[in-house]
Structure 1
Amino acid sequence: MYSNMESIGFSTYFNDVVNYFYEDKKLVAQLGEKLGFDVNQDVFLGVVFLYPSAEQGTFDEKEQLKEHLAEMQNLPSINNQIKQNQFFYVDNGVATFLIGHDKDDIMKILPDFKKEAVNLLDSMDQKKKVRVGFGLPEKGIAGITRTYSYAIKAVKAGEIFKKERCILDYMGMEIYSSINAMVTNYGKQITDIVFEQLSDIEIRVLAKYYKCKEDIDTTARVMNIPPDLVREYLANVKKSTGLDVHDTEDSFKLHLLVIAKKVLDTNKKIDEIKATNHYEYILLDIDDTLLDFQANERESFINVLKDYGYKNAEDYLPVYKQINDRLWKEYEQGIIEKPEVLNTRFSKTMKEFGIEVNGKEWESKYRSYLNEGAQMIEDAEEICQWLKSKYRLFIISNGVAQTQRKRLKASGLDKYFEQVFVSEEVGAQKPSKEFFSYVENHIPGFDKSRALIVGDSYSSDIQGGLQYGIDTCWFIRGDIKEQESGEKSTYRISGLKQLKDILD
């Protein structure tokens, strides 16, 4: 069975499918042909393994999920019924499409797949909850998006009902859709009619009762009140509303009403936040925005020269910085390729002093030192923690992917970000429109009118945002002075803490 997360950039393919298949079915069909299946005839089943949205997984945790999912799909009882499968990353987990010729064949493997999913989740040594959702097998281009959507909605239904490890198929989607419809069409009216008859403490006990899986003793312990008092409050609910928590149908209605109230309360809070601040997505640069690249660069450069016996290493640094900056700008402008930047900057620097060196060898040594550098800009940890509580955070960076990811992880900041976009992996660099288009297409639901770019580089971060229609915040360390050359940005800050003044 063929499986490859990176085949012709399947995540790119998937986003093309989700976002554009109505407009360009021919493109989708061509991509499907390259991947070895017929998007018009084959049947697709979407399966998602997700962390709850409030506990989004790190890159390493997603990798672990992917490995477990691959092992599960390779079991003979499942593998033999699948024509092909494809993995891809999603916001807070991983997902897969199982691809076959016949819907009945796909339906046959669902029981085994669910059973293996339960075993897998029980065996995983992870503190975070993981939920699994299955879609309804669908055929053709439109089926790709529907089955994936069903799988996501199944997980959302699991979140609503507080299932720790939720194995739901498309029936979960129907539950979720029913709740959404009720909240949208009748939620406020129904909840007002029912809950206006109850006291605040009765509403809180009812909500906690369902959160505690309808266990009176657990509810009493969590609320620090006697079990008999919980029973009394629940009896009062029946007297006031006519709905009995011990009756299956009445209990389901009450549970939905509790959920509807929570959704309405949450929506109200979201509306209040949006009224004061319209941003939802914060795109942050790494070098000299979050991590002190200048300090890291200086230390790594000096260590390389010392290794090769040059005692006065700092004497060479200004020339190196001048040459390095020039090469990176030529790369941003598309004049040269990245290997030329990396493999010639040392040889060109030392040539200025009449010394011939192996630039590629020096670069390798320099890279090993650079990977270890994780010095943070002042207040970087604090501002990331604050931003994470209010916004969706993403990294946008030019550079070498392995280096950037290692430095981010070494700093401990990686846990705050949903995704990391590095030019080497994207296939384009800031400030190109191709880079930001890639970012937009790989963040589900992304709206550039609700995004803000924060970075130190005018040429890559700020110009990139301006060209692509995204608001920008220019981080200029030190005093901010009006630029004579007419550089523009939506905001300017001289310290990361000032982001609070802009966004609060």
Structure 2
Amino acid sequence: MEAKISDVFFDLDHTLWDFEKNSALAFQTVLTKHKIEVDIDLFVSHYVPINLKYWELYRVDKITQTQLRYGRLKDTFDLLSYEIEDEKIFFLSDEYIHYLPQFNHLFEGTIEILEYLKPKYNLHIITNGFHEIQSNKLKNSNIGGYFQTITNSESAGVKKPNPRIFEYAITSAKAKKENSIMIGDCIEADVKGALNFGLDAILFNECNAEVPENIKHINNLLALKKYL
């Protein structure tokens, strides 16, 4: 007989909070404000995979936060053959971080599923994002009140998929892993990280990517009702 779920842990970016849409709007604001003469749509299309690559490196501690924030912009400008000084890149990076939490599009069904889950379960966040930025996202998008605990990589001292961040989150929530489940968009960080720790997991597969047969997955957040 399966253990009864009492605690549900969500990733934030790319799972509840629509990172790509909000990121594009932040860049549109920053690049326009500072008269950076590039095609913004083209800039964003280059930035998205570059940012993903840098986050993968950051997740396994191969680069620092500063290298992440500088490198992803530097590489994007280089692809566009746009000459820009390093000092300006650091400045634009800070501006982007400032504006990013001010755009708060959520994935379809986010509020409805949180309203559905809140009376039934204790809800929590586990994110590799940075404390101040993630706190602002939760506050500005009006979903912070749904969650009892927020675990980020800065407070835990490690990033998903390291089992210690899941241990930290479970302990903070006063939960038991056999009564908990993790929901996130990244197979490596969220799903395999949780499963390797002994925590059940569901992949939010919004882009309908191919998924291994043994991985539970949903394409829309409201589909969580089938499991919870």
TM-score of the superposed pair, with normalisation by structure 1: 0.43
* Residue in structure 1 matched with residue 34 of structure 2 by the alignment: 308
1:34-72 CA-to-partner distances (Å, cap 9, x unmatched) read xxxxxxxxxxxxxxxxxxxxxxxxxxxxxxxxxxxxxxx
1:438 to 165, 168, 172: 168
The answer to whether the 8 A contact 2:104-2:137 is kept is yes
Alignment partner, residue 218 of structure 1: none
In structure 1, distance between residues paired with 2:23 and 2:210? 28
* Equivalence for 1:495: 220
In the aligned structure 2, how far is the partner of 1:497 from the partner of 1:383?
A: 6
Equivalent residue number for residue 469 of structure 1:
198
Q: Which amino acid aligns with 2:17?
A: L
Aligned to 2:66: 339
Query: Alpha-carbon deviation of 1:432?
Result: 0.8
Partner of 2:54: 327
Question: Where do 5+ consecutive residues of structure 2 fail to align?
Answer: none
Shift of 1:359: 2.2
Q: 1:477 to 1:382 in 2, by over 3 A?
A: same
For the structure 1 residues 382 and 406, does the alpha-carbon distance in structure 2 shift closer, same or farther, using more than 3 Å as the test? same
Please give the residue correspondences for 1:132-151 in structure 2 after superposition, counting only pairs within 5 Å: none
Alpha-carbon distance, 1:356 to partner: 2.4
State the 1:340 CA deviation. Answer: 1.2
8 Å contact 1:290–1:377 — kept in the other structure?
yes
Checking the alignment, whether the CA contact within 8 Å between 2:11 and 2:126 is kept in structure 1 is yes
Q: Within 2, Cα distance between the matches of 1:364 and 1:306?
A: 15
Label 1:394 to 1:333 Cα distance change in 2 as closer, same or farther (>3 A): same
Q: Report if aligned partners of 2:9, 2:181 keep a CA contact under 8 Å in 1.
A: yes
Structure 1 residues 278-309: Cα deviation after superposition (integer angstroms, max 9, x where no partner): 10110001112111111001111222222232
Tell me how far apart the structure 2 counterparts of residues 419 and 373 of structure 1 sit (CA, whole Å): 23
CA deviation string 1:113-150 (max 9, x = no partner): xxxxxxxxxxxxxxxxxxxxxxxxxxxxxxxxxxxxxx
In percent, how many aligned pairs have the same letter? 28
Q: Whole-Å Cα distance in 2 between the matches of residues 423 and 287 of structure 1?
A: 13
Shift of 1:344: 2.6
**Map 1:364-443 → 2, pairs under 5 A:** 364-443=94-173
Task: Show CA shifts across 1:349-374 (max 9, x none).
Answer: 21233322332111111011102121
Pairing 1:280–2:6 present? yes
8 Å contact 1:283–1:453 — kept in the other structure?
yes
Name structure 1 gaps, 5 residues minimum: 1-274
- Check the 8 A contact 1:298/1:317 in 2, yes or no: yes
Q: Following the alignment from structure 1 to structure 2, what is the Cα–Cα distance between the partners of residues 343 and 362?
A: 9
1:345 and 1:359 in contact (8 A); partners too: no
**Superposed counterparts of 1:107-118, under 5 Å:** none
Whichever of the two has the greater Rg, that structure is 1
Quote the Cα distance in structure 2 between the aligned partners of 1:311 and 1:328: 24
Does the CA contact (< 8 Å) of 2:148 and 2:173 recur in 1? no
What TM-score results when the alignment is normalised by the length of structure 2?
0.91
Q: Which of structure 1's runs of 4+ aligned residues deviate more than 3 A? A: none
Tell me by how many angstroms 1:276 deviates.
8.6
- Residues in 2 aligned to 1:435 and 1:475: alpha-carbon distance in whole angstroms: 20
Letter in 1 for 2:23: E
Task: Write 1 or 2 for the structure with the bigger share of helix.
Answer: 1
| Greater RCO (CA < 8 Å, at least 6 residues apart) | 2
The alignment's C-alpha RMSD in Å is 1.8
Deviation at 1:500, TM superposition (A): 0.9
SS at 2:26 equivalent: helix
